[in-house]
């Protein structure tokens, strides 16, 4: 597809970008990045948060967010020098030659304008179409994007569409001017795994039919594996590895790329989580259901999700680790909150050690509250920013065991040591810690109560892949040592694979599959589970053949 002169579509040479920090200095975000992209090629830019991948993606459109500027190097897109480009040149570039598909389709569409109008606006202002032409073309585009009943969809507002439909509308708007390059910034992060697969298929189709080149920015190697030919692995603003996808996934040269790959799910029977190892029943849940309260005349509660959980039965034995998988809206977080006693079940009953367990903390004994602990998702919100680590750890020790100050501090130091942290952490505030350290403190706080059951709600999903592994190891070590049972709630199948021998799969408030993790992952009996696994194992499929030389 190269032009006669052989010039690639994108030529990026030692490009550096910086942002003005609050202190007034310029901080480099992208440094010395070089790559080329031919017409019709698909490049995946992979990296964790803060790697500079989103900044690089926007730079392809000559756009830097507030305070950003080019520090050096050159970037040419279809013959336009983006670094030096001024107003008119940029106007000729954006939308016409390079188009962007942003991360969050809901917030990227104007909420008070019908979606059809939003695509028409691009056609009218950028391609000079008449309203009538624009309307017809919009419906065509919607049809090409696989949207059902384009005429009806066009009259909807963004919030009235599903996540997948919104992303299709945004892609339609990006394709409106037949760009030569489509930049996609985490295009499926806001979507469910099942929808993600469909949108990625659409992106692959679009590439084939339109001949546009793709730059796909993501943290998820599975997405790259599905769509791209080549990949660029970025860390701290620099390219650490670049090359064809199969080569990098098969033989990663740097430790960083290996870490990223390890975080992706690889089903390897020899490394399956251990078998069920319980010494008797601990928690029993029978026919538990939950739905939000109906409406009262003076206050309206959203009625669209009536039943969050429907007749759930679960058994967890002592020392057992149970994984709970599901997508957002599947009711998995609600299940955790029910067991923890934060909300009351509408129906069903719970038993703990053979005794009835009251539905909320108010009705539970102090001993029951101590023995059931919970760790939360966002590390930053897990700890009170106004309390030192010491205060956070000492409080449960005093509350549950009546330890005096000195004894509680000694115990806190022991806990910290188990999690690989020194006594000097006691006097630090949460904001002085990294995300991984914060989450380890939250784990220490939960284990301070010496629980028998620990509920972990997406505890690693806010962490970067390389940190995740470390936190999980610490968690698992403490769990084995204390023989506490765990209920691990997550959407990330690789977490389950690493630590949970038993698993249940939730969908729309119901258990659709359960059993030993190794069995379920190897031979899923439910199409939903199969879809989740399919999405999560793309990277390992490319990597697998080259594992054996």
Partner 1 sequence: MKTVIQRIVRRPLTIVGILLVAFHLTMALAAPLLAPYDPFILIGAPLEPPDATYWLGTDALGRDFLSRLLMGGRISIVAALAAGLIASLVGGLIGLAAAYYRGLFDDIVSRLVEMNLAIPAILFVTLFVTGFGQTLPVLILVISVIKMMGVIRTSRAQGIVLMEMGYVKAARLRGETAASVILRELLPNIADLLAVEFAMRTSSALLLVSALSFLGLGISPPTPDWGLMIHDGLQSIRSEPWLILAPALCVSTLVVGINFAVEGISDALGLEAARGAA
Partner 2 sequence: MIGAILRRTGLSLLTLVLLAIYIFLATEVLPGDALDVSLSADEISQMPPAQLAKMKHELGLDRPAYERLGEFLLGAARLDFGRTVMTKARVVDIVAYPLRNSLLLAGTVIVIAFPLSLMLGVAAACRYRRPVDTLVSVGAIIGYSVPEFVTGTVLVMLFAVAWPLFPATITASTSDPALVLLAAAPLAVATIVIGSIAYLTRILRVGMVEALSTDFVERLRLTGIPEWRIVLLHALPAAVIPSLTAMALYAAAMVSGLVVVELVFAYPGLGQELVRAVTRREVHVVQVIALFSASVVVVLNLAADLMILALDPRTRRR
Partner touching 122 among partner 2, partner 1, none, CB below 5 to 8 Å by kind:
partner 2
96 lies in the binding site for partner 2 (CB under 8 A): yes
Say how far apart CA 289 and CA 505 lie, in whole Å.
16
Q: Which of 6, 25, 112, 422 binds partner 2 (CB under 8 A)?
A: 112
| Cβ-based nearer residue to partner 1, 265 or 478 | 478
222 lies in the binding site for partner 1 (CB under 8 A): no
Partner touching 396 among partner 1, partner 2, none, CB below 5 to 8 Å by kind:
partner 1
User: Which pair of tokens denotes residue 268?
Assistant: 């390897």
| Cβ-based nearer residue to partner 2, 130 or 279 | 130
Q: Which stretch binds partner 2 (CB under 8 A): 107-115, 315-323, 336-344, 491-499?
A: 107-115
Buried b (16+ CB within 10 A) or exposed e, 28-60: bbbbebebebbbbbbbbbbbbeebbbbbbbbbb
180 lies in the binding site for partner 2 (CB under 8 A): no
Q: Is 395 in a helix, a strand, or coil?
A: helix
DSSP state of 236: T
Q: Which residues contact 389 (CB under 8 A, 6 or more apart)?
A: 383, 416, 425, 426, 427, 428, 429, 430, 433, 441
Place of tokens 């030529």: 11
383 lies in the binding site for partner 1 (CB under 8 A): yes
Q: Which residues contact 125 (CB under 8 A, 6 or more apart)?
A: none
Window 233-252: residues binding partner 2 (CB under 8 A): none
Say how far apart CA 53 and CA 333 lie, in whole Å.
31
For residue 56, the surrounding DSSP H or E stretch is: helix 53-59
Q: Which string of x and - marks every residue 136-165 that binds partner 2 (by CB under 8 A)?
A: ---------------------x-xx-----
Say how far apart CA 241 and CA 252 lie, in whole Å.
8
Q: Are strands 80-81 and 321-325 parallel, antiparallel or unpaired?
A: unpaired
Q: Which string of x and - marks every residue 75-94 that binds partner 2 (by CB under 8 A)?
A: ---------------xx-xx
Q: Which of 445, 491, 498, 507 binds partner 1 (CB under 8 A)?
A: 445
**Residue 161 Cα distances to 48, 165, 353, angstroms:** 30, 6, 46
The DSSP annotation for 396-441 comes to HHHHHH---HHHHHHHHHHHHHHTT--GGGGG--GGGS-HHHHHHH
Q: Which of 74, 104, 470, 526 binds partner 2 (CB under 8 A)?
A: 104
111 lies in the binding site for partner 2 (CB under 8 A): yes
| Cβ-based nearer residue to partner 2, 125 or 365 | 125
Binders of partner 2: how many residues, by CB under 8 A? 33
Could you tell me the smallest distance in angstroms from the CB atom of residue 63 to partner 2? 6
The DSSP annotation for 317-368 comes to ETT-EEEEE--TTSSHHHHHHHHHTSS--SEEEEEETTEE--SSGGGS-HHH
269 lies in the binding site for partner 1 (CB under 8 A): no
User: Helix (H) and strand (E) counts for the chain?
Assistant: 22, 20
Q: Do residues 236 and 53 make contact, with C-beta atoms less than 8 angstroms apart?
A: no
Partner touching 132 among partner 2, partner 1, none, CB below 5 to 8 Å by kind:
none
23 lies in the binding site for partner 1 (CB under 8 A): yes
Window 13-72: residues binding partner 2 (CB under 8 A): 58, 61, 63
In total, the chain counts a number of residues equal to 549
Q: Which stretch binds partner 2 (CB under 8 A): 105-113, 305-313, 470-478, 537-545?
A: 105-113
Q: Which of 400, 428, 482, 508 binds partner 1 (CB under 8 A)?
A: 400
Q: Which string of x and - marks every residue 325-354 that binds partner 1 (by CB under 8 A)?
A: ---------------xxx------------
382 lies in the binding site for partner 1 (CB under 8 A): yes
399 lies in the binding site for partner 1 (CB under 8 A): yes
Residues that bind partner 2 (CB under 8 A): 58, 61, 63, 90-91, 93-96, 99-100, 102-104, 107-113, 121-122, 125-126, 157, 159-160, 170, 173-174, 298, 300
**Applying CB under 8 A, which residues contact partner 1?**
22-23, 298-299, 340-342, 361, 364, 366, 369, 372-378, 381-387, 392, 395-396, 399-400, 442, 445-446, 449
């Amino acid at each position: 597809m190269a032009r006669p002169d052989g010039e690639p579509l994108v030529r990026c040479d030692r490009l550096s970008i910086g942002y003005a920090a609050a202190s007034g200095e310029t901080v480099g975000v992208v440094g010395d990045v070089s790559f080329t992209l031919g017409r019709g090629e698909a490049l995946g830019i992979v990296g964790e948060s803060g790697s500079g991948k989103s900044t690089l993606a926007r730079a392809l459109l000559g756009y830097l967010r507030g305070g950003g500027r080019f520090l050096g190097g050159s970037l040419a897109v279809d013959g336009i020098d983006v670094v030096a480009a001024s107003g008119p040149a940029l106007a000729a570039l954006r939308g016409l030659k390079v188009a962007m598909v942003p991360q969050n389709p809901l917030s990227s569409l104007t909420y008070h304008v019908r979606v059809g109008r939003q695509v028409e606006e691009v056609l009218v202002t950028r391609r000079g179409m008449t309203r009538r032409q624009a309307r017809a073309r919009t419906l065509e585009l919607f049809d090409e994007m696989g949207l059902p009943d384009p005429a009806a969809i066009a009259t909807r507002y963004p919030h009235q569409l599903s996540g997948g439909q919104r992303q299709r509308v945004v892609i339609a708007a990006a394709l409106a001017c037949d760009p030569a390059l489509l930049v996609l910034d985490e295009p499926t992060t806001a979507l469910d795994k099942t929808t993600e697969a469909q949108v990625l298929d659409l992106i692959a189709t679009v590439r084939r039919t339109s001949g546009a080149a793709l730059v796909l920015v993501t943290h998820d190697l599975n997405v790259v594996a599905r769509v791209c030919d080549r990949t660029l692995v970025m860390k701290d603003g620099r390219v650490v590895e670049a090359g064809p996808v199969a080569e990098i996934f098969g033989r990663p040269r740097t430790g960083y790329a290996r870490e990223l790959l390890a975080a992706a799910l690889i089903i390897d029977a020899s490394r399956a989580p251990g078998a069920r190892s319980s010494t008797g029943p601990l928690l029993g849940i029978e026919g538990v259901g939950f739905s939000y309260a109906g409406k009262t005349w003076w206050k309206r509660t959203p009625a669209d999700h009536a039943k969050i959980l429907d007749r759930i039965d679960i058994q967890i034995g002592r020392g057992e680790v149970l994984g709970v998988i599901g997508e957002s809206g599947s009711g998995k977080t609600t299940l955790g909150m029910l067991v923890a006693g934060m909300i009351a079940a509408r129906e069903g009953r719970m038993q703990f050690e053979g005794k009835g367990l009251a539905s909320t903390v108010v009705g539970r004994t102090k001993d029951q509250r101590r023995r059931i602990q919970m760790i939360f998702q966002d590390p930053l919100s897990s700890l009170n920013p106004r309390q030192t680590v010491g205060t956070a750890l000492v409080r449960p020790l005093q509350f549950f065991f009546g330890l005096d100050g000195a004894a509680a501090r000694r115990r806190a130091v022991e806990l910290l040591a188990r999690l690989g942290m020194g006594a000097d952490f006691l006097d630090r505030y949460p904001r002085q810690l990294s995300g991984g350290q914060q989450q380890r403190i939250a784990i220490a706080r939960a284990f301070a109560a010496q629980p028998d059951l620990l509920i972990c709600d997406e505890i690693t999903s806010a962490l970067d892949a390389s940190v995740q592994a470390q936190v999980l190891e610490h968690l698992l070590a403490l769990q084995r040592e204390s023989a506490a049972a765990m209920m691990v709630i997550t959407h990330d199948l690789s977490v389950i694979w690493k630590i949970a021998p038993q698993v249940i799969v939730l969908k729309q408030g119901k258990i659709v599959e359960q059993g030993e993790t190794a069995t379920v992952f190897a031979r899923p009996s439910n199409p939903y589970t199969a879809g989740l696994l399919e999405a999560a194992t793309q990277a390992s499929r490319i990597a697998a053949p080259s594992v054996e030389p």
